[in-house]
Structure 1
Amino acid sequence: MERIIEEIREDLNRRIAVAADRLTDRTLTEDPAYAALLGRTELRERIHHTFRQAVEGLVRSSRGLPLDLAEPHATGALRAEQGLPLTSLRRTYRSCGRLLWQSLTEAVTAHDRAALPGLVAGATLLWDVLDQMADAASEAYRGAEARRGEREREHRAALLDVLLDGAAGEADAAEAAGRLGLPGRGRFAVVALDGRSGPDGVPAPRPEGDPAGGPGAGGAEGVGPFPRLLWRIRPDGEVGLVELGHHPLESLRELFAPLGVRVGVSPVVALPVELAGAHRLAALALRTATAAAGPATALLDEGLPAALVAADPELAARLREVVLGPILALPADDSRVLLSTLGTWLACRGSTTYAAQRLYCHRNTVSNRLRRLEQLTGRALSDPAHVVELALAHAAVAQRPTPSVPRPPGTPGSVPIPAGTARRSPRPRG
């Protein structure tokens, strides 16, 4: 093979120069990625150089020598940094191989047709050379792409921190939003996911989207089935910046419901500089959601009283002690029954009948429990001011982390049913 190439070297050089011109024109016409990246002169020089590298690689391989793959490696890394798709890069190597083989056969035919059988025997060697060059470029490309992606994620995470932590003024916040592809004015919200939501310490799942920025499921304009989400992972959980677009804030409840996580959702804000405040409110909303027995999505504006309590842990502790201290001092089972009855009665808007249906007990049982609660706390459920105190104190108790109490098999809900109490089905919802 080496002898054949040396005999046709001059003619082969002329033919691969023509092939380089042909492949350059074809690439610029058929591959928009290359056309956007390189001018004709530079692209033609690189393609011509690849042809020459392949010929020299063929000579080295015929001698049993290893290929020098430094240049394909450098080319792959460079193209990754420039953002050229890997498919475009590999397609060029394949095209070089086909045109080089055509140039070789034409040169050998013109020089000595009787030498063609010897050239055909080297076809496998040629394709092995091109494969090694393409593989070296691809390996370097993937490595550089991974490094570039990590740098971009870090950069986007830093931009999200500027918005979520309030470390910048209005102009800097607007600039950070622009670099993240967000509009200067829109409909934004922030969501906070509980870092403990996942079972057995596994991080909580989240909807599809860019983990550190970029278009999520809804696209840049929020016109998909869900809003756009930009994620920031933190030690205590995950924070999502939401570009709502035309979507209502309540759509986030539908988005997170299948994931089995606890989520706090801020109100809607219009400007990037307001996102730091929204972040604080989302974290506050999450503190109201973590009191739930299972996954929940808490919109701050739907639970302002509970959020008011969560905003001041010291005041919340004082509420528990002053208002519900006598209840909390009871044995655990008694305390749990009275607190659950109060919470259910409040959720049923003061209806003893509906509360009884939810608790699977008789209406008189609920009345007796509430009467006992009034006696112990010194607060009357007929007095609106006392009801406000009890509701806020109940929220303070619900937000306090407590160890879970195992339920006996067959016990519905979390409230034990006293002996002799008839079970009733919940009232059907119409």
Structure 2
Amino acid sequence: MNAHPVDSGVSPAVAELIRDGVRAILEAPPEWIDEINSAVTDGAGMEAIAGDEALLTVALEINAGNLAHWAASNMADPGARVPVAITDHTRTYIRDLARRGLDSRALDSFRTAQNVAWRLWMEICFSLTDDATVLRELLEVTSASIAAFIDDTVHELAELIDLARTELAGDTHAERRAAVALVLEGAPIAQERAESQLRYRLDGPHTAMVVFGDAETGPDDVETVCAAVMEASGVSGRLTVMAGASELWVWLPCREVRAEGAVADHRGVRIAVGSAGDGREGFRRSHFEALTVRRLLARSSGARRTAHFDQARLVALLGEDDLAARGFVDATLGELRHADADVLECVRTWFGAGCNASVTASRLYTHRNTVLRRLARADALLPRPLPTNAVHVAAALELSAWLD
């Protein structure tokens, strides 16, 4: 470990100032935390982590935890060397970094956060005393304490990530991910070689999925949901690539994927499904369709847990520009967008029933006259009469269901 001259026997005056500074940290304005978080996300080598919501959330939590740990230690023993705090949460994060192919350079965020935190700490120190001698001792002691803590932390985490990478070196996951990337890019990799590395046939039917969780979702939850989809779809094999801390890219050798019931007991997990395809082209197309649906699901409210590309074709086409899509919905629906849920459901069902009021009433288990009243209510809320603008209204309602 790197050694720094941290002296726990600081003068009583400086010890009390350190405690005062720690209290100021604990009462720091939100802008300070935002600035530290920005330094972490903008740091060199953080691109892969910043692009993974689950991984980034854990990284920021660890940085916040380290700050709190340093503060608590200095409240108890001002200026003393702070022991490294390695939690189970931290170990899981390190393993996820290794699985993503990242090395110790991914720990540079700790250095970036240290620089910002030190600048903010100096602001606190200069506000605590005007005595130049005491101020100098305060800065020297805390500078050594912070530097030693970060050095010790990065050193220990680097050893953990190297160990995790060594353990994974014998795993076929990295090889499998590389082969998948070649197939998705359309590279001229031989079929036999690709199938050998993937342990998956490319000449049959494929349906791709993206199974992903929120910041609170663990890898076991995503894996459990995947297994449930396989069982419901009647398949025993799959190709899986770990795309993030709680995200899997999956291909199932079948044409019909039944995903709806798999997420019932896992509220943080969502499933995006592409359309079925054959051969390499079907393998690629289904995956990119699943990624499109994944983006739409991530942008929509949490109520929609699963979606197939066939359900989202129109939205994928019209909703590429989020601002333009919302403008179209607002201009087309007007006050109808904020109507009661039963009115909106009635209009959507009416379109799905071929604009037939009797069929709509049957599907909604209500009376035909009730349907007619709700349609009249919807018509009154629209900027333009429904009969003259039905196509636009139907498209806007579909977009609205995904945007809200």
Give the TM-score taking structure 1 as reference length: 0.44
Give the TM-score taking structure 2 as reference length: 0.46
Q: Which one scores higher on RCO, CA 8 angstroms, separation ≥ 6?
A: 2
Q: Which has the higher helix share?
A: 2
Larger radius of gyration: 1
